[in-house]
Amino acid sequence: MTSSPASGDQIRTLFSRAMSDMYRAEVPQYGTLMRLVEQINSDTLESDPGLAASLTRQDDIDRLSLERHGAIRLGTAEELFYMRRMFAVMGMYPVGYYDLSVAGVPVHATAFRPISDDALRKNPFRVFTSLLRLELIEDEALRAEAATILANRRIFTPRALELIDLFEATGNLTGDQAAEFVREALETFRWHSEATVTFDTYKRLHDAHRLVADVVSFKGPHINHLTPRTLDIDAAQQAMPRHGIVPKAVIEGPPRRTCPILLRQTSFKALEEPIVFKQEDGVGEGKHTARFGEIEQRGVALTESGRALYDDLLARARLSAAGKKTTTPYETELASTFAAFPDDWQTLRSRGLAFFRYSVTAAGLTANIRIDATKTTEALINLGYLQFDPIIYEDFLPVSAAGIFQSNLGSDEQRNYAGQANKVEFEIALGATVINELSLYAQAEKASLDRALLQIGAGHLAKAAAV
């Protein structure tokens, strides 16, 4: 405990560790999942020296043990507004807009996360935060009832709000205040086994969509999963049954590749948990499924053109596999379709499909005096003076997120909302503009290249690129 200021990075680390401890106590299989991932990561680094070297060059080894992402579902614009302010205390900002209605889930979302390279290295904790879209519920009476229920709940403690106000007024919290803030903030994410509605109301919400029942029926937005990052998700998928965990049938995202791209995710089925309902209708107990386990593997961040190619190939694979009854044809179709996506780092870079972080090689440092104004960046790479490593994708894929949601809500939860994105409305509720993730990756790539060129004595190339 201390009276000196605590940084956002320090508060974020305190919070993510407290969240992990709480979730481990609430969902014991999470601890099993963590041990499994830790072993797979250790084995992968030992068997793949190239990957270990790349992570070491980028100072990313240590973040593996810290890396988590969580997910919460909010019910009102006011909740989203205050949640943005709460995460800001932790140095986390809204990045990206996700419309999950395209996949039959009545929410839109953003990801709160650190945005600078330095902050991401210290702790890349991120929370995928969804906002329920009541307007997508067809039953007007049920929609009005849900709105009334949500309007009457308060998901933040009074002290948490006071500390947020203090942070905004002074620009920081002391160590003691930060510790208190973490304790108070954790209450927002805690599981509550008592519903705020009767069984009859819960059933009607559930029939509209299970996610609607999950958001509306409880005191707060309980964290519904915490996800560690694995370096080999296929190994994790195979290992889960040996640890008493049954994974979903298909890994969401792109197929297995030599050069991983974007994000791949798998999960185990949501827990069926006992719930106590308000007893106005005589039914006091029931079951609810919401919280599940998830593992992710993160690959390189794609540029706009790379993402367009990815989206096109994914759509083709899904269309081709539509109507097939087994998982094998889809996985086979996916791998076959994605053969059109280059699978080596040099081609991904030269074709501008992915983002990379540049650094100077040992040869480049000793060759400083031999570099002249006629050398280009490409020439410096070809001479072995500059090297590049993939920039890790820090964000999410809406189709994959919806796939995880649906697999844990039940196969009967398919809905068609016709893809009704409303970024303007979301940002009004948020009280801020979401940050474009592509711009963050582009800035990180350019900054690394500029530093490397200056270090190697080719600063004129960085200046030329900026003109």
Helix or strand (DSSP H, E) at 298: strand 293-298
Residues 237 and 196 in one domain: yes
Output the pLDDT for position 467.
37
Residue 453 lies in a domain: yes
Q: What is the pTM of this model?
A: 0.87
The structure tokens listed for 272 are 């069926």
Residues 417 and 450 in one domain: no
Residues 88 and 190 in one domain: yes
Q: What domain range is 327 assigned to?
A: 305-343
The tens digit of pLDDT for each residue in 294-309 reads 889 999 999 999 999 9
For residues 262 and 438, give the distance between their C-alpha atoms in angstroms, rounded to a whole number.
12
Instruction: List, edge to edge, every strand of the sheet that includes 194-198.
Output: 194-198, 272-278, 285-289
The tens digit of pLDDT for each residue in 303-355 reads 999 999 998 898 888 777 666 655 556 778 888 899 999 999 999 999 999 99
Strands 293-298 and 285-289, how do they pair? unpaired
Residues 371 and 402 in one domain: no
Choose among 154, 193, 183: nearest CA to 75: 154
pLDDT bin (cut points 50, 70, 90) of residue 411 is: very low
Residue 365 pLDDT > 70: yes
* Domains of the chain: total: 3
Output the pLDDT for position 63.
75
Residues 256 and 400 in one domain: yes
Range 184-200 average pLDDT = 89
The tens digit of pLDDT for each residue in 197-211 reads 888 888 888 888 888
Range 122-136 average pLDDT = 91
Contacts of 229 (CB under 8 A, 6+ apart): 37, 64, 67, 68, 295, 296, 297, 298
Residues 39 and 151 in one domain: yes
Residue 63 lies in a domain: yes
Where helices occur in 91-209 by DSSP H, the ranges are 117-122, 140-151, 158-170, 175-186, 199-208
For residues 254 and 339, give the distance between their C-alpha atoms in angstroms, rounded to a whole number.
11
Residue 219 lies in a domain: yes
pLDDT bin (cut points 50, 70, 90) of residue 407 is: very low
Output the pLDDT for position 310.
92
**Main-chain phi, psi angles of 301, to 5 degrees:** -75, 135
Residues 217 and 290 in one domain: yes
Contacts of 262 (CB under 8 A, 6+ apart): 253, 254, 298, 299, 300, 301, 302, 310, 393, 397
Residues 237 and 327 in one domain: no
Residue 350 lies in a domain: no
Residues 137 and 249 in one domain: yes
For residues 13 and 63, give the distance between their C-alpha atoms in angstroms, rounded to a whole number.
11
Residues 395 and 384 in one domain: no
Name all contacts of 178-184 with Cβ < 8 Å and 24+ positions apart. 178/6, 178/10, 178/11, 178/14, 179/1, 179/14, 181/11, 181/89, 182/11, 182/14, 182/15, 182/18, 183/18, 184/157, 184/159, 184/160
Range 364-384 average pLDDT = 76
Residue 231 lies in a domain: yes
Residues 59 and 74 in one domain: yes
Output the pLDDT for position 210.
84
Query: Which DSSP string do the residues of 197-222 spell out, in sequence order?
Result: EEHHHHHHHHHH-HHHHHHHSSSS--
The tens digit of pLDDT for each residue in 414-443 reads 444 445 668 999 999 999 999 999 999 999
Half-sphere exposure of 38 (CA within 13 A, CB side): 9
Residues 116 and 247 in one domain: yes
Residue 455 lies in a domain: yes
Locate tokens 């694995």: which residue?
Answer: 230
Domain of residue 409, CATH code? 3.10.180.80
For residues 77 and 422, give the distance between their C-alpha atoms in angstroms, rounded to a whole number.
13
Using a pLDDT cut of 70, give the percent of the chain over it.
87
Mean pLDDT of the chain: 85
Residue 283 pLDDT > 70: no
